[in-house]
Structure 1
Amino acid sequence: MREYPGLRRRGFLAAASGVGALALVGCGSSDNDSGSDAGSANDGKPRRGGRLRAAFAGGGASETLDPHLANLFADVARAKALFDKLADYGDDLSAQPRLASGWEPNAGLDRWNVTLRKADFHDGKPVTAEDVLFSYRRIADPEKAFRAKASLEPIDLKASRAVDERTVEFVLKRPTAEFPNVLAAFGAYIVPDATSDADFDKKPVGSGPFRFVSFAPGRSAVFRRNEAYWDGAPHLDELEFVVANEESARVNALLGGQVEYAHELNPTTARAHEGKGQIEIVRLRNSAMQAFAMKTDRPPFDDKRVREAFFLIADRQELIDGALSGAGVVGNDLFGKGYEYYADGLPQREQDLDRARSLLKKAGAEKLKVTLDTSAVAAGFTEAAGIFRDQAAKAGVTVEVKMGSKDSYWADILDSGTLCCYRSGAMPIESHISQRLLTDSTTNATKWHHKDFDALYHQAQSTKDEKDRAAVFDRMQRRLYAEGGFLVWGFADWIIGTARTVKGVERTAPANSLDWARFDKVWLA
């Protein structure tokens, strides 16, 4: 690999401490790139050839290409370049077929036949039903800590079987109408049968659009076009992921021409460069829910009047403008704006301090004092806490902002405290409910425990007709809107910067969805 000294001067550091300046391999597209097709850079049509270098924040020397261990955005972007899932999430977070060409449930919604499309792994072997079962059983291994394990919980993997080479019968523990969401779950990638743990970092074999070339944990990964990809060969000859943990390093590398794609820019950077012509700014709308989580099982938020008062204290546009520099849209105390099943018929909640004060008085909480846990763990958290503190003061509520550790914040706020800053990336509304709002949900940050609400969720999962199922989800969201514990004040844009030569970047896909980081559809003009 060739080292670029300019990266050291610009502070473009690798993730692991002690690692020197980031080593990059090769450079961007030119008309003389090997394998490039003739084509105009100005005609708007995809052209073939070149290497795209994409800068992400990484995980240091412990990074792996094991797709079942994907956790950071960099991990997921690398995984989806090398591997496929049976399904993935569309722009509205509904499940879309990928390696699965289709699925069909039985009448009871507790058995699903999933048909695989004709696809090959990078070693030329076909993707089979046994590969699918091996992958899911590996993820579900109780001795492993794979993130998708909880998502696969509805499947009885011992009873599930390969009907034939390209058909899997999944036996479920209970009716699950939204089972395709399981197939699209974060980290549920398909790998060849009998793949060992050590294989992933030596020479990973997937069925994805790019093939493995090299990998230096905490520094870079290089992949090459898979000409035999079932969804059409990528336009790029090669794709390189480079690690730059600091946002300033990613921006400087992009401005200096050392990368062509910089992931996760902050709103201030976007505003400084948008429309100036040097780089392109791409905003992925509705990518991250921004909220305050109130614990509903303890004072003062065990009184729904207090929760409603807090809904009415929030000036959502002020929070968007101040905490996100305007890079987002206001929320309405529900997760998933723009996603499938979202209850968009409810009136937009506005600040009403008089009504908030009245509710607090009725609840005997006129001079309420609460602690708001926050941290610099996520962009805008500390700013949002300060803004909301000032808003609450106008309603007679004293909010004490408490700074928490970046390293342990998410674990700390799950069970402790009463009010905290909260954020979530994109996922189906059904998954948000099942993971965070049921009595036995493992990440129930609002401690929303209601058996009748649980029953509605199970009713939705037992309802085959999509229109009827949507009506149940609507009913659940109306309940949350009225008395839930998430004060959802906004949805942040996810911001990406690209060189002007980069074309084909999808602009409507939230982060975590199929078309986010979809490098097989990108080209260099």
Structure 2
Amino acid sequence: MKRRQFLKSTSALLGGTLLSSVALPALAQAEPVKGGTLIWGHSETTQNLDMHQTGTASTGRVLQNVHDSIVTVDKDLNVIPNLAESYEISDDGTVYTFKLRDDVMFHNGKKMTSEDVKYSFERCKDPATGAVNFEVFNNVTGIETPDDTTVVVTLDKVNAPFIFRLAENGAGVVMPAGSGDEQGNTPIGCGPFKFVRREFGNEVELERFDDYWDGPAYLDKVIAREITEPTVRLTGLRTGELHMINDIPADRITEIEAEEGLQVVSWFPLNWDFVNFNHDFEPFKDPKVREAFDYMIDKEALLEGALWGQGKVTASPSYPTSASYNHDLKQRPQDIEKAKALLAEAGYGPGELSVVFKATTNYPYHIEAAQIMLEWFRMAGVDATIEQLTWSDWLSQVWVDKDFQISMMNFFTLWEPDFLYYSMWNTEGAFNYRKISHPKVDELTAKARVTTDPQARAEVYKEVQKIVHDETLDVLLWFRNGTIGAQPAVQGLDTIVHPNGSNLNFHKVWLQN
């Protein structure tokens, strides 16, 4: 199979972020100038700063500016060279040869070589590292470095999404050889900004890296202030304390768009949200109970109540423009009586089932959504309570310890179908914190990896979606819009949103004097 055929077959599955609107003041666009510190009101808090280990989009959104990956994607999510100036795939799809750029410098002053790529890939593959993308390298049997600018990766069998997974700034990120122990607290990369400091739960400071291979950034510094409270974030923008914020409060977007002197960038989608069941919790082992909870939820009403309609309901988590999106699936309508009947069939009469809904204050709209859903649960005869957790506590209890009954989460950047379906629903998936183990899903997600025909592969993922829906492994809710608000002085906002719809790249952003 030729490289061009391989790329054609896989890229046909994907679609890019849909930019819905850019409301910018009519300012004269001068040439970019260097200098200045941009203060960004970041809507979430960062966690572990090790790009291999972190599973949170909030941290990745910052580290996107510190690290670069061996390949990346263009605006249409086609894979293009990055730290590798070129790459070739063997006819049988099992050997990947990367020719590296010879002008890439790390923030510690070391020049990047093939040794660093080998180290980074082997570190991600090693189970002891605890990398969230370890399974990307499951089929890798050898990594050779014939010279300083050549890396040859050999797989034991075809893995159709392999090159796309390397385009993520997790699996494909290149770190200096031997730097693993430092990455969690002092990340070292070769991106446009170098890490300076972090005050946990408060702010992260990045500084321009003048030796960046793709040309230095315009900004001297970016300071990401972690402000999870939406109204505080918005007030900071309006008073000028903040240059820009992400996640404008959903109920204020129309107001801010009409406000003279502020810029608004909106796009769709930013992420998707779903309700999670712990499949080890006895009641949720029964698909009838899970289905009953699905019938309790009015998805359109929830979208309006928690997000002020800033999104679109969906029965599939696939990118809206992806060929793998299963348009045949329809969300279950709210039917409280049907929910009661299903619970009765499962052996739970009124008041006989109790659940605790764990939601994180890191996403205030999750708290609002949980409060709305609890009223519906109670209408169906379920004794339901809510437990509000900080982001760190949610990650510890729900993500790591899997100590929960029912919860809610959103996921970003899962634009690649393998990353989405294998990570989320395969028994061994890195993001399968719900303890889902479904043999047919495991079989299908493994089958997709060796299916190179684009339409056939898309059909496999449609089968996975149907199982997730029909057996209510989770309850898909909606895609959420993304928004940025900014002061007039912030320029280059048309370059800031990564094609995956989640990450923010400050390389070409500048401040007008």
Please indicate, yes or no, whether the TM-score normalized by the shorter chain is above 0.5: yes
Letter in 2 for 1:498: A
Residue 493 of structure 2 aligns to a residue whose secondary structure is coil
Q: 2:113 is matched with which residue: 125, 128, 132?
A: 128
1:454 CA drift (Å): 1.1
Q: 1:482 to 1:316 in 2, by over 3 A?
A: same
Equivalent positions of 1:351-370 (< 5 A) are 351-353=333-335, 355-356=338-339, 359-360=342-343, 363=346, 365=348, 367=350, 369-370=353-354
Which residue matches 1:349?
331
Which residue matches 2:60?
76
CA distance in 2 between counterparts of 1:473 and 1:320 reads 26
Q: Is the 8 A contact 2:64 2:503 kept in 1?
A: no
CA distance in 1 between counterparts of 2:460 and 2:468 reads 13
Which residue matches 1:381?
366
Q: 1:312 to 1:95 in 2, by over 3 A?
A: farther
Residue 420 of structure 2 aligns to a residue whose secondary structure is helix
1:361 CA drift (Å): 5.4
Q: Is the 8 A contact 2:424 2:430 kept in 1?
A: yes
CA distance in 1 between counterparts of 2:57 and 2:393 reads 19
Q: 1:513 is matched with which residue: 492, 500, 504?
A: 500
TM score, norm. by length of structure 1: 0.76
Q: 1:337 to 1:139 in 2, by over 3 A?
A: closer
Q: Is the 8 A contact 1:283 1:494 kept in 2?
A: yes
CA distance in 1 between counterparts of 2:118 and 2:501 reads 22
TM score, norm. by length of structure 2: 0.78
Residue 436 of structure 1 aligns to a residue whose secondary structure is helix
Which residue matches 2:438?
450
1:288 CA drift (Å): 2.7
Equivalent positions of 1:60-209 (< 5 A) are 67-68=51-52, 75-88=59-72, 95-106=79-90, 109-117=93-101, 119-121=103-105, 127-140=112-125, 144-145=129-130, 147-148=131-132, 150-154=134-138, 156=140, 159-172=142-155, 175-188=158-171, 189-193=173-177, 195=179, 206-209=189-192
1:132 CA drift (Å): 1.0
CA distance in 1 between counterparts of 2:472 and 2:301 reads 22
Q: Does 1:426 align with 2:413?
A: yes
Residue 319 of structure 1 aligns to a residue whose secondary structure is helix
Superposed CA deviations along residues 64-123 of structure 1, whole A, max 9, x for unmatched, are 976556666665344333331113456676655422345444455443333434542168
Structure 1: runs of 5+ lacking an equivalent: 1-40
Which residue matches 1:18?
none
CA distance in 1 between counterparts of 2:264 and 2:188 reads 33
Q: 1:154 to 1:370 in 2, by over 3 A?
A: same
RMSD: 3.9
1:301 CA drift (Å): 3.3
Which residue matches 2:32?
47
Which residue matches 2:16?
none
Q: Is the 8 A contact 2:105 2:190 kept in 1?
A: yes
Q: 1:287 to 1:523 in 2, by over 3 A?
A: same
Q: 1:104 to 1:313 in 2, by over 3 A?
A: farther
Residue 452 of structure 1 aligns to a residue whose secondary structure is helix
CA distance in 1 between counterparts of 2:67 and 2:420 reads 25
Residue 382 of structure 1 aligns to a residue whose secondary structure is helix
CA distance in 1 between counterparts of 2:308 and 2:100 reads 45
1:345 CA drift (Å): 1.6
CA distance in 1 between counterparts of 2:359 and 2:47 reads 25
Larger Rg: 1
CA distance in 1 between counterparts of 2:62 and 2:114 reads 24
Which residue matches 1:402?
386
Q: Is the 8 A contact 1:375 1:405 kept in 2?
A: yes
Greater RCO (CA < 8 Å, at least 6 residues apart): 2
Which residue matches 1:15?
none
Range that drifts further, 354-363 or 396-405: 354-363
Superposed CA deviations along residues 247-305 of structure 1, whole A, max 9, x for unmatched, are 45543443233432223443245455332123223334322322211244554333334
Q: 1:448 to 1:198 in 2, by over 3 A?
A: closer
Q: Is the 8 A contact 1:331 1:337 kept in 2?
A: no
Q: Is the 8 A contact 1:244 1:250 kept in 2?
A: no
CA distance in 1 between counterparts of 2:127 and 2:164 reads 22
Q: Does 1:278 align with 2:265?
A: no
CA distance in 2 between counterparts of 1:359 and 1:50 reads 62
CA distance in 1 between counterparts of 2:234 and 2:112 reads 39
1:174 CA drift (Å): 5.0
Q: 1:514 to 1:153 in 2, by over 3 A?
A: same
1:318 CA drift (Å): 1.2
CA distance in 1 between counterparts of 2:455 and 2:197 reads 47
Q: Is the 8 A contact 1:85 1:190 kept in 2?
A: yes
CA distance in 1 between counterparts of 2:185 and 2:354 reads 48
Residue 105 of structure 2 aligns to a residue whose secondary structure is coil
Structure 2: runs of 5+ lacking an equivalent: 1-25
CA distance in 1 between counterparts of 2:511 and 2:429 reads 44
Residue 84 of structure 1 aligns to a residue whose secondary structure is coil
Letter in 1 for 2:220: E
Q: Is the 8 A contact 2:243 2:490 kept in 1?
A: yes
Q: Is the 8 A contact 1:92 1:339 kept in 2?
A: no
Residues paired across the two proteins, number: 476
CA distance in 2 between counterparts of 1:200 and 1:290 reads 28
Q: 1:441 to 1:164 in 2, by over 3 A?
A: same
Q: Is the 8 A contact 1:91 1:509 kept in 2?
A: no
Which residue matches 1:338?
320
Q: 1:300 to 1:79 in 2, by over 3 A?
A: closer
CA distance in 2 between counterparts of 1:457 and 1:369 reads 34
CA distance in 2 between counterparts of 1:227 and 1:501 reads 26
CA distance in 1 between counterparts of 2:429 and 2:180 reads 32
Q: Is the 8 A contact 1:160 1:171 kept in 2?
A: yes
Letter in 1 for 2:509: V
Range that drifts further, 178-187 or 101-110: 101-110
